Structure 1
Amino acid sequence: MTTSEWLTAEVSKLAAKEEDYKKRAFFEYLTELCEEQGKRIEQAESELDGRLWNPQKW
C-alpha cells in the first residue's frame, strides 16, 4: 500500500465518522485531492521515463 492509498483510506474513514457537514465535505475534497495528486505524480514519472528512453537523444 502506497502512502497515497493509505492517506486516502484514512481520510475516507474520518469522513465516514464525521457528523459535521463542513468537515465531512473537507475530508471528501481532501480524498479527491489525494487521488488527483497521485495521478499527476504517475503522469510525471511516465513522462520522465519516456524522455529518458528516447533513442533519438542517445
Structure 2
Amino acid sequence: MEEQAWLLTTIQSLLDTSTKLEERAFYQGLLDLANEQLKRLDQSSGELDGRIWNPSRWG
C-alpha cells in the first residue's frame, strides 16, 4: 500500500512541476495507467477471495 501511494504521489508531483506539454501528457498518461492497474489488482484480489470462499466448492 505504501508503494502505491508513493508511486501516485511521485507521478502527481512530476505532473505538477513539469512545464513542457509533452512531459505533462506523458505523466498524465502514466498516472491514468497506474490508477487503472491498481483498480484491476483490487478487482482481481476480490475475485480470488470470492472464489476461495465459495461454499458450493467445499467438500
In structure 1, the gaps of 5 or more residues are none
So what's the TM-score if we normalise by structure 1? 0.92
So what's the TM-score if we normalise by structure 2? 0.91
CA root-mean-square deviation: 1.0
Is 1:7 the counterpart of 2:11 in the alignment?
no
Runs of 4+ residues deviating >4 angstroms: none
**Percent of aligned positions that are identical:** 40
Q: CA deviation at 1:49?
A: 0.2
Corresponding pairs, count = 58
Q: CA–CA distance in 2 between the matches of 1:46 and 1:6?
A: 23
In structure 2, the gaps of 5 or more residues are none
- Kindly report which structure 2 residues correspond to 1:1-58, keeping only aligned pairs within 5 A, or say none: 1-58=1-58
